[in-house]
Amino acid sequence: MTALARPPHHMETEHFEEDARIFARLEKSARLEFIDGKARSKAVPDGDHGRIIEWLTRLCRQARPELSLSADQGLKVQASRGGRARPDGELAPGGAFVGQGAWADPEPVLMVVEVTCHDPDTDRRDRTEKPRVYAETGIPLYLLIDREARQVAVHSEPDDGRYEHVRTLRYGKKVHLPDPVGITLETEQLKDWVG
Reported as a single tens digit per residue, the pLDDT across 135-158 is 999 999 999 999 999 999 999 999
Specify whether the CB–CB gap between 90 and 98 falls below 8 A: no
Rounded to an integer, what distance in angstroms lies between the CA atom of residue 25 and that of residue 45? 18
Rounded to an integer, what distance in angstroms lies between the CA atom of residue 120 and that of residue 3? 23
Task: Select from 105, 109, 75, 74 the least CA-distant residue to 91.
Answer: 109
Exposure class string for 1-28: b at 16+ Cβ within 10 A, else e: eebeeeeeeebebeebbebbeebeeeee
Q: What's this model's pTM, rounded to 2 decimal places?
A: 0.84
Q: Which of 16-20, 62-66, 146-150 has the highest mean pLDDT?
A: 62-66
Rounded to an integer, what distance in angstroms lies between the CA atom of residue 180 and that of residue 110? 6
Rounded to an integer, what distance in angstroms lies between the CA atom of residue 154 and that of residue 152? 7
The residue-averaged pLDDT of 118-147 equals 89
Least confident of 60-69, 80-89, 117-126, 132-141: 117-126
Beta bridge partners of 145: 115, 152
State how far Cα 62 lies from the chain centre: 21
Rounded to an integer, what distance in angstroms lies between the CA atom of residue 82 and that of residue 5? 21
Which residue type occupies 17?
Answer: E
Least confident of 31-35, 120-124, 183-187: 120-124
Q: What's residue 1's pLDDT?
A: 37
